[in-house]
Amino acid sequence: MAKLNILEFPDPRLTTVASAVVVFDEALKLLVADMTETMYSAHGIGLAATQVNVHKRLLVLDVSEEQNQPRVYINPDILSRSGEQSHEEGCLSVPGIYASVKRAENITVRAVGIDGISFEEQLEGLHAVCIQHEMDHLIGRLFVDYLSPLKRNMVRKKLEKQRKVASQEAEDHLVI
Ligand code: GNR
Ligand code: NI
């Protein structure tokens, strides 16, 4: 297995619209295994293929307490949505930034599993939030896109600053 590189905002590749998975082969299984490892290693509860620069409609998630229930959704579709919830969201592609986002409380999802078999699920709460967040990635949308342009610009500047500090620190370690 391998840990994959996660793209970060405002990388334009994160705005790519993913296309449907058509081939269910060993390479797809390997991608799912690598994405799952990458998600756990980054302490995320979900990861969309878009975030690792693979523009196919698939995502992995694990919203369990013990982080021992990985799930895969290939070619996911939301068949119905109802209710409303606001949750404080974060994103591995927007590190260190959190904002409340309003989403549907209940959704019915249809997707295909790694075995190529279609399934349907009713989800609520955090599981529903996470699927909606991941499915947004697959159409090139980030949670910061729900913020005002002003706030989004503040996010961009904060990330730029974080990266500058991190690279300066890396340089310091080289010199000393
Ligand atoms: O790890 C993550 N936590 C999270 C918290 C609230 C709402 C959504 C998420 S998903 C995020 C991982 C990620 O960036 N997935 O795309
Ligand atoms: Ni995300």
**pLDDT tens across 132-159, in order?**
999 999 999 999 999 999 999 999 999 9
> Would the pLDDT of 173 be above 90?
no
pLDDT of residue 174: 80
pLDDT of residue 100: 98
pLDDT tens across 27-81, in order?
A: 999 999 999 999 999 999 999 999 999 999 999 999 999 999 999 999 999 999 9
Residues with CB under 6 A from ligand 1: 44-48, 51, 87, 89-93, 129-130, 133-134, 137
Q: Tell me the best of 45, 64, 126 to mutate to test the pocket of ligand 1, counting ligand atoms within 8 Å of each CB and taking the most.
A: 45
174 C-alpha to ligand 1 centroid (Å)? 33
Lookup result for tokens 């500058």: 164
> Would the pLDDT of 166 be above 80?
yes
> Would the pLDDT of 87 be above 80?
yes
Q: Tell me, yes or no, if 89 is annotated catalytic.
A: no
> Would the pLDDT of 176 be above 80?
no
Helices (H) then strands (E): counts for the chain: 3, 7
Element (DSSP H or E) covering residue 31: helix 26-41
Q: In the chain, how long is the greatest CA-to-CA distance?
A: 58
Q: Confirm whether pTM is higher than 0.95.
A: yes
Q: Which among 75, 70, 77, 46 is positioned nearest to 58, based on CA atoms? A: 75
pLDDT of residue 97: 97
Element (DSSP H or E) covering residue 130: helix 125-138
Rounded to 5°, the CA angle 75-143-61 comes to 45
Q: What is the mean pLDDT of the chain?
A: 97
pLDDT of residue 32: 98
pLDDT of residue 159: 97
pLDDT of residue 84: 98
Residue 60 CA: which ligand is closest? 1
Q: Which atom of ligand 1 lies at the shortest distance from residue 133's CA?
A: 8
pLDDT of residue 12: 98
Rounded average pLDDT over 166-172? 92
Q: Which atom of ligand 1 lies at the shortest distance from residue 92's CA?
A: 14
Residue 90 CA: which ligand is closest? 1
**d(Cα 134, Cα 144) in Å, to the nearest integer?**
13
Ramachandran angles phi, psi of 51, nearest 5° = -65, -20
**d(Cα 45, Cα 61) in Å, to the nearest integer?**
5
Given the residues 8, 105, 124, 134, select the one marked as catalytic. Answer: 134
